[in-house]
């Protein structure tokens, strides 16, 4: 049976501007030229998975507008199956407003649009049709939580694997956490879950081991320090290569997409994390969430 990678998540049009520094509240700054690109965690992670050799199916929604049409064209040409991506007449395509400072740090405000209109009724029948023992479901939290929960339960019932990127960070039910294999979080998200400081590799390793009581496996990303992982069969740290940082916007999404491409191909967790760290390091060297092919 062929493995299926389902990416359930958001698709946005990203508007990015480079600034010398981020403005203070009430302050106006002049920035560089506006860069328009496709984005959203679901779309970004699906594209990263495709560039890592997978054939992901994107389950999400865009509006029946120019941004939505451009989104589907771009993602389809990037190797993503968008035949199951919904086009909604009653909502615009989601938008992300991004500022990137000269040191590579970013701030992001998202207007979800069609992403917020996804429903259990529209998504779960598609998931049930696609799901099987070799299915990997990758989800994030830029779409309604009830959709993620229902899709995860459907994939788990079919014997598949659930990967949750807990971003943006929010409280989720324990029933969803117990299905995660792995749960993928950054340092602040790990802190929210574990209730402990995560400022170092040792901190992250301890938090990951502790959180195994709540999920099946876990990955904690550490930015320039790489990532740690833990599962019932072992734990470890994968360091990141030193690179010149241009923009951190898409690094986490590149990491997660590459990890899931490897898992869908049958790789062990450590090998998947190694592939993810390499993809994340490559992503920070480009401006925008979806860097060009090289």
Answer whether 52's CB lies under 8 Å from 257's CB.
yes
Answer whether 257's CB lies under 8 Å from 219's CB.
no
Strands 86-88 and 61-63: parallel
Q: How many residues appear in the chain?
A: 294
276 vs 78, 105, 207, CA distance in Å?
19, 20, 20
Answer whether 76's CB lies under 8 Å from 46's CB.
no
Q: How far is 275 from 105, CA to CA, in rounded Å?
A: 23
Q: Which of 148, 197, 128 lies closest to 41, judged by CA?
A: 148
Q: Is 65 a catalytic residue?
A: no
Q: Three-state DSSP class for 186?
A: coil
In the set 73, 202, 253, 265, the catalytic residue is 253
Answer whether 70's CB lies under 8 Å from 280's CB.
no
Give me the active site residues, please.
253
């Amino acid at each position: 049976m062929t493995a299926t990678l389902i990416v359930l998540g958001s698709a946005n049009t990203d508007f990015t501007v480079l600034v010398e520094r981020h403005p203070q509240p009430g302050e106006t700054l002049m920035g560089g030229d506006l860069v328009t690109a496709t984005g959203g965690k679901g779309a970004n992670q699906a594209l990263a998975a495709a560039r890592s050799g997978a054939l992901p199916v994107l389950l999400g929604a865009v509006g029946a507008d120019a941004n939505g049409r451009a989104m589907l064209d771009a993602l389809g040409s990037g190797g993503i199956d968008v035949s199951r991506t919904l086009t909604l007449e009653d909502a615009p395509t989601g938008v992300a407003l991004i500022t990137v400072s000269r040191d590579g740090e970013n701030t992001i405000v998202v207007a979800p649009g069609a992403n917020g209109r996804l429903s259990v009724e529209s998504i779960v029948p598609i998931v049930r049709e696609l799901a099987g023992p070799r299915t990997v479901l990758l989800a994030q939290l830029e779409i309604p939580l009830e959709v993620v929960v229902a899709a995860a339960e459907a994939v788990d019932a079919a014997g598949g694997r659930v990967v949750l990127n807990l971003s943006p960070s929010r409280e989720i039910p324990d029933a969803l956490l117990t299905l995660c294999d792995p749960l993928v979080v950054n340092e602040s998200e790990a802190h929210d879950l574990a209730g402990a400081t995560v400022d170092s590799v040792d901190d992250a390793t301890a938090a990951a081991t502790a959180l195994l009581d709540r999920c099946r496996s876990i990955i904690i990303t550490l930015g320039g320090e790489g990532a740690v992982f833990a599962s019932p069969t072992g734990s470890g740290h994968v360091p990141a290569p030193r690179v010149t940082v241009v923009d951190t916007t898409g690094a986490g999404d590149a990491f997660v997409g590459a990890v899931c491409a490897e898992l869908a191909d049958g790789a062990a967790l450590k090998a998947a994390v190694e592939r993810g760290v390499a993809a994340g390091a490559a992503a920070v060297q480009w401006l925008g969430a979806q860097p060009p092919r090289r």
